[in-house]
Amino acid sequence: MDKNVVMSGMRPTGRLHIGNMMGALTNWVKLQNEYDCFFVVVDWHALTTEYKNTQDIKENIRQMVIDWISVGLDPEKCNIFVQSQVKQHAELHLLLSMITPLSWLERCPTYKEQLKQLETREINTYGFLGYPVLMATDILIYKANKVPVGKDQEAHVELCREIARRFNYLYEPVFPEPEALYTEFMVLPGIDGRKMSKSYDNYIEISASPDVIREKVKMMITDPARIRKNDPGHPDVCNVFAFHTVFNEPAKVQELKEACQKGQIGCVECKKNLADLMVARMEPIHQKRKMLEQNPKIIDEILNTGAKNARVVAEKTLEEVRDAMKML
């Protein structure tokens, strides 16, 4: 039976928010105990849209990896590294580019959509069109057979499977066809009720201080129909309640639901309770963060070791690829 290898990556966007923590990161922390995992900071991917703004990239990588480790990724259990430190990705990307028909990339649903969405960014480039090939490279180079994705990235995994099939058909069967690993990601709303996102400026950073957490919780939208403290509330439409379901104990969530519906608890008290819970939950994460910020060598070592281990696996795959393609 194939060894189960998981590969997943994030663009270096800097400090992550609590929505990232409760969604993808919590999932990664679970996966590291079940699979052989490669978690990569995909800095070359960032260049496909942000090639003009590279001034913060190093610091963004560092801050993001500090968040990864602080919330529980363990370098003893998984490989953590930066894509550009494993140059084998560039060689395999080039080789796979040779066999990938242009039409496969042009029909990629996210391609045209993003071209429209980001039309001010001049991303009509060779690199941007080819980024699904780079993504396929990141997966295939570790012979990953499981890729944790949301439904919106399904097309990329399918394209990766097609590229693997085409390579295996043209030369020799080198690559397993990866499968999407769908997980129920928790989608935490932002403080305004929309999806938590940096682009909406409605987020709470993992590294936010207790004061900032309390301030942001105060700003959260509650049930708009509730004017007075003893009006019956509708927790299902309340943003604060959504956070309680994540940060509070299930029995307490049920109690709160009933108290809100009966108008027995006010929103100010409810928000204060939530802020207390969040501050307490984030405390050990902040401690770890602080320690990592004070000892920058720890992150350097994690990334160096991760890249060293990744290079060994990547080079082994490339040797098979070069052999299959009859290259020198």
Residue 151 labelled as part of a binding site: yes
Shortest approach of ligand SF4 to residue 184 CB, angstroms?
23
Residue 232 labelled as part of a binding site: no
The 3-state DSSP class for residue 306 equals: helix
**Interacting residues with ligand SF4 between 165 and 224 (CB under 6 A):** 222-223
Sign of CA dihedral 222, 188, 45, 294: positive
Shortest approach of ligand SF4 to residue 274 CB, angstroms?
8
Amino acid at 34: E
Q: Which is nearer to ligand SF4, 46 or 217 (CB)?
A: 217
Binding to ligand SF4 by CB under 6 A, coded x per residue (else -) over 102-141, reads: ----------------------------------------
Choosing from 130, 190, 233, 306, the residue that interacts with ligand SF4 (CB under 6 A) is 233
- End-to-end, the C-alpha distance of the chain in Å comes to 31
Amino acid at 205: E
Binding to ligand SF4 by CB under 6 A, coded x per residue (else -) over 271-310, reads: x---------------------------------------
Q: Are 20 and 205 within 8 A, CB to CB?
A: no
Of the candidate spans 58-66, 196-204, 209-217, 266-274, the one that interacts with ligand SF4 by CB under 6 A turns out to be: 266-274
For residue 180, the 8-state DSSP code is E
Q: Using CA atoms, how far apart are residues 204 and 213, in angstroms rounded to an integer?
A: 7
Strand order in the sheet with 179-182: 79-82, 36-41, 5-10, 146-149, 179-182
Which residues are 37's β-sheet partners? 6
For the record, the structure tokens of 15 come out as: 């400090």
Shortest approach of ligand SF4 to residue 254 CB, angstroms?
12
Residue 130 labelled as part of a binding site: no
Of the candidate spans 76-84, 119-127, 264-272, 303-311, the one that interacts with ligand SF4 by CB under 6 A turns out to be: 264-272
Q: Which is nearer to ligand SF4, 99 or 237 (CB)?
A: 237
Q: Using CA atoms, how far apart are residues 292 and 62, in angstroms rounded to an integer?
A: 10
Amino acid at 284: P
Torsion on CA atoms 300, 59, 142, 78, rounded to nearest 10: 50
Residue 14 labelled as part of a binding site: no
Residues at the binding site are 11-13, 19-20, 138, 150-152, 188, 195-199
Chain residues that interact with ligand SF4, rule: CB under 6 A: 222-223, 226, 233, 235, 238, 240-241, 260, 265, 267, 270-271
Residues at the binding site for L-tryptophan are 138
